Chains A and B, each alone.
Chain A
Amino acid sequence: MNEENTPFNEKSKTSMQSEQQKEALLDVTTIPIVKNGGDEKETSVLDEQWAAMRQDWQAQPVPKTDINVLLKQTKRRTLWAKTFLGLNVLFTIAVFIAFLIGLYDGEYGTPMNTYLGIASFGTAIFVYYEIKIRLQTWRQCCDSPDKAVDNAILACQSSIKYMILNKLSCIPFAITGNWFLVVMAEENDKSPLKGLLFINILLIVVYVVADKLHKKRKKEYQRLMSLK
């Protein structure tokens, strides 16, 4: 990294020092709570109590973190999140290219082309929502904590939409998947039973998981809205 772009440099240290100078003017230990008819004695007791509380709070023991392990974990989590998103985008592009090739060359046949067409359209919608949710989460970390609840509501709304999409997509995928398997089995003179069983069980699992997450997000959404 370029030395000039280093985030933690002398300038930021100077900034911290000037903040400390301001702190001297606005020391929280001397904030009066309630001055009852100029009762200075009471204020002084409250100040002492507050100072004691602050001392206790700052003396709290904390577990020591192995920073190298933490760094590794942090890098791994960031890498996984980016990898999954990248793979999803690549998969969508690959399915779309395969559909275009099939459409213009006519090599795969109608059932395969139809299936690829629906799949490329469906995965594009999924990737759009995934990118939207991830960007919202990443943007949120530097926003004002006062907006944290509003941001969490937005993230929750996107997540709910994503879950609804997951559940609804099971219907067209069930229709096209079953149709595709039957047609392919007929073309190859094979029984479609195993394939049908597999795809339908898979879709049921996807639906149940999406439904569970949908209910969880709805509960979170209701709780967030009650805070507004």
Chain B
Amino acid sequence: MSFEAVFIQWIKDYEKLIRHLIIGFEAKPALQDELYQDITLNIWRALPKFRQDASVKTFVARIAHNILATHVAKSVRTIKTDRDIDSIVDTDNEKASAEATPYQALTQQQRQQRLAQAIRKLTLEQQQVITLALEGMSYQEIAEILSITTNLVGVRLQRAKAALTKLLEAL
């Protein structure tokens, strides 16, 4: 199979995963598209380096996380954008129900928005583990992607879940 065919196959298989990871780090749709292009460009560049004994999923996720971590670290704009989006989401939610609605009572779309909004408020380390865990990845896979031990994954995930629960209650 040529590199081109492999690239197309990978993008087909992991487009959803990449898009979901981006949502956890960036709120603005235009920047999300920019990040998606950056990630795919880096996958294309890194394709010849792919070791055949490695998992494609972890390889793709690792590249995506590198781009996203750098983006979060560099970006000052995101904080402002997040606030803007948050205010839009809040207004929408207020319109949907005049009273304070528990998380589970919201529509799925509202829950998804709140969840993404809350994840973007976590620390970078917590964002990394929680987005991967929400994608259904195992401790082992998360550890491979982030180059940390499985024990550390457990610790970070536990903290991230606690922080996320608090944020969701506060929203």
Contacts and interface: CB of A to CB of B under 8 A. Distances in A.
Q: What is the predominant secondary structure among interface residues of chain B facing chain A?
A: helix
A147 B15 CA distance: 24
Contact of B141 (A23, A57, A152): A23
Interface of B: 1-4, 6-12, 15-16, 19-20, 23, 36-37, 40-42, 44-50, 52-58, 62-63, 65-67, 69-70, 73-74, 76, 104, 108, 111-112, 115-116, 124, 128, 133-141, 145-148, 150, 154, 157-158, 161-162, 164-165
17 contacts: A1-B1, A8-B10, A15-B55, A49-B104, A56-B108, A78-B41, A78-B45, A141-B46, A141-B63, A141-B67, A144-B146, A145-B128, A146-B147, A149-B124, A152-B74, A224-B73, A227-B124
Given A56-B108, A149-B73, A224-B73, 14 more contacts: A9-B1, A11-B53, A22-B138, A33-B158, A33-B165, A57-B112, A57-B134, A58-B135, A62-B20, A71-B8, A146-B146, A149-B124, A152-B74, A227-B73
Interface stretch (A24-32, A87-95, A100-108, A122-130): A24-32
Given A8-B1, A8-B6, A77-B41, A26 B157 contact: no
Interface residues of A, number: 62
Interface of A: 1, 3, 6-9, 11-12, 15-16, 19, 22-23, 25-28, 31, 33-34, 46, 49-50, 52-54, 56-60, 62-65, 67, 70-71, 73-75, 77-78, 138, 140-149, 151-152, 156, 219-220, 223-224, 227
Q: Which 4 A-B pairs have CB atoms at the shortest separation, nearest pair first?
A: A144-B147, A148-B69, A23-B138, A62-B19
Contacts of A75: 44
B42 to A, nearest CB: 4
Given A31-B158, A58-B134, A143-B66, A7 B47 contact: yes
Contacts, number: 182
B69 A54 contact: no
B6 A6 contact: yes
Contacts of A23: 137-138, 140-141
B74 A33 contact: no
A7 B164 CA distance: 37
B73 A28 contact: no
Contacts of A146: 146-148
B26 to A, nearest CB: 14
B52 A28 contact: no
Contact of A27 (B138, B145, B157): B138
